[in-house]
Structure 1
Amino acid sequence: MIVKAITAIIHGKVQGVWFRGSTQKKANELGITGWIKNTSRGSVELEAHGEKIQLDVFIDWLSEGPMYSRVEQVNVNWIEPSVQFSAFSVKY
């Protein structure tokens, strides 16, 4: 398996709508590891590692978001994985 990685910032109505928990669940379904957290600016930030095809599906899902969220913009950067995660976690 060739591991790829992304960082992403998701803008819109993404806090207080179970975005992080839903994203964690979706990442687990896809076999993606990494983390997600709220930012002080009202957006959500994440780092995700997995196979490219899984990450492509994940990015598409992030663009829609879970019910009750309203995603306005997703900024994705492909990066070289520098650490290894064993799970996808919510940071507080």
Structure 2
Amino acid sequence: MKIRAMVTITGLVQGVAYRQTTQQTAQRLNVCGWVKNLPDGSVQGCFEGEESDVDALIGWCHEGPSRAQVTGVQVKKEPFSGQYETFNISY
């Protein structure tokens, strides 16, 4: 089953290559969507794909890249939209 998840990651997640490594991990897992920095220092993502692949990416978000210090991951699952064909970094 395909799903969408809106994810917000908090902690030391900006300036540590979090978006780039999220994009690489999403592409490896065949997950589409986007990731971006938010003004409050958190990172937000929209992940779409097979539920098991999206869940694997969410699991990865709890750790992130080696320099990140993740303190929280909020997830809101939504119906799949199919509007994304790739995974991009949004600015």
Counterpart residue number, 1:66: 65
1:47 is the counterpart of 2:77: no
Equivalent position amino acid for 2:49 in 1: G
Instruction: Find out whether 1:79 has 2:78 as its counterpart.
Output: yes
1:57–1:86 Cα change, 3 Å: same
Secondary structure of the corresponding residue to residue 33 of structure 2: strand
SS at match of 1:64: coil
Percent identity reads 36
Structure 2 spans left out of the alignment, 5+ residues: none
Q: TM-score, normalised by structure 2?
A: 0.96
Partners of 2:85 and 2:23 in 1: CA distance: 13
Q: Residue 66 of structure 1: CA displacement?
A: 0.7
After TM superposition, the score normalised by the length of structure 1 is 0.95
Give the secondary-structure state (helix, strand or coil) at the position aligned to 2:84: coil
Q: Structure 2 CA distance, aligned partners of 1:75 and 1:49?
A: 16
- 2:26 — aligned with what? 27
Are residues 1:37 and 2:36 paired?
yes
Name the CA distance, whole Å, in 2 between partners of 1:40 and 1:81. Answer: 27
Aligned residues: 91
What is the distance in 2 between the residues matched to 1:81 and 1:42?
27
Partner of 1:89: 88
Q: CA deviation at 1:81?
A: 2.5
RMSD: 0.9
Shift of 1:51: 0.4
- Spell out structure 1 runs of 4+ moving beyond 3 A: none
